[in-house]
Structure 1
Amino acid sequence: MTPFRFLKLLGDKTRLTIMGLLNNQDCCVCELVEIFQMSQPAISQHLRKLKDTGLVKETRKAQWIFCSMNKEHEMYSLIKDILARIPDQKEKLKALEEKGTKISCE
């Protein structure tokens, strides 16, 4: 992956935020839908782009799909540097729990 393609991919605010969330913990697709208030197909398109480049991995548990950051990706050190410079995304996950809208997929 060229650095230009990588930076262009993370130049999208939604994808950058997804990476920030996945830096904290694995997330179910349904949680991302709730956090972003976007349709499942829209979230899936963003995830597909991240998966196609190997930045995100998926794990299926029954009918649920969990996403995680690929910490073995060749650009992981750059991702960490970029994510260190954006607001921490833990608050979005915490807000789901506080509102009682965190979805239990297990």
Structure 2
Amino acid sequence: MLKTAMEMDKAAIILKLLGDKTRLTMVKILDTHDCCVCEFVEIFKASQPSISQHLRKLRDVGLVKEERRGQWIFYSLNKTNEYYPFIQQLLNQLPSQDYKLKELEEQGTRITCG
């Protein structure tokens, strides 16, 4: 699958990005749910600029895409990215993170921006 040195370099960049627990968790959540920054702020108890920085890094390599809905931007995993099959194998080995969104729903903060 990864044939050239350039592809190996790109794979290394993606794996380095996913080596961060916050980004890895974000990608796992985004594999099944669209989320906005405010939801990740609640999930990770992190600042909005910090969350936006994580999302920007994922977007810059094409793993994450954004869609404007009204005044809000929602993020999702870009399953058309050429490296999605590569990371999908990794994501399939990880435990579901759906409980994090369920906790937000129970707290009434699931869609604070919607």
Per the TM superposition, whether the score is higher than 0.5 is yes
Q: Which moved more, 1:82-91 or 1:37-46?
A: 82-91
Q: For residues 113 and 47 of structure 2, what CA distance do their matches in structure 1 show? A: 18
1:76 corresponds in structure 2 to: 84
Which runs of structure 1 show a deviation greater than 3 angstroms over 4 or more consecutive aligned residues? none
CA-CA distance at 1:98 after TM superposition? 1.4
1:15 matches 2:27: no
Structure 2 counterpart of 1:46, one-letter code:
H
1:33 matches 2:41: yes
Q: For residues 47 and 112 of structure 2, what CA distance do their matches in structure 1 show? A: 18
CA-CA distance at 1:104 after TM superposition? 4.2
Q: Helix, strand or coil for the counterpart of 2:110?
A: coil
> Could you tell me which of 12, 20, 44 is aligned with 1:4?
12
Structure with greater Cα Rg: 2
Within-5 A mapping of 1:30-69: 30-69=38-77
Unmatched segments (≥5 aa) in structure 2: 1-6
TM-score normalised according to structure 2 size = 0.87
Q: Helix, strand or coil for the counterpart of 1:24?
A: coil
| 1:33-57 deviation per Cα after TM superposition (whole angstroms, max 9, x unaligned) | 1111100000000000000000000
Q: Percent identity?
A: 59
CA-CA distance at 1:62 after TM superposition? 2.2
Structure 2 counterpart of 1:61, one-letter code:
R
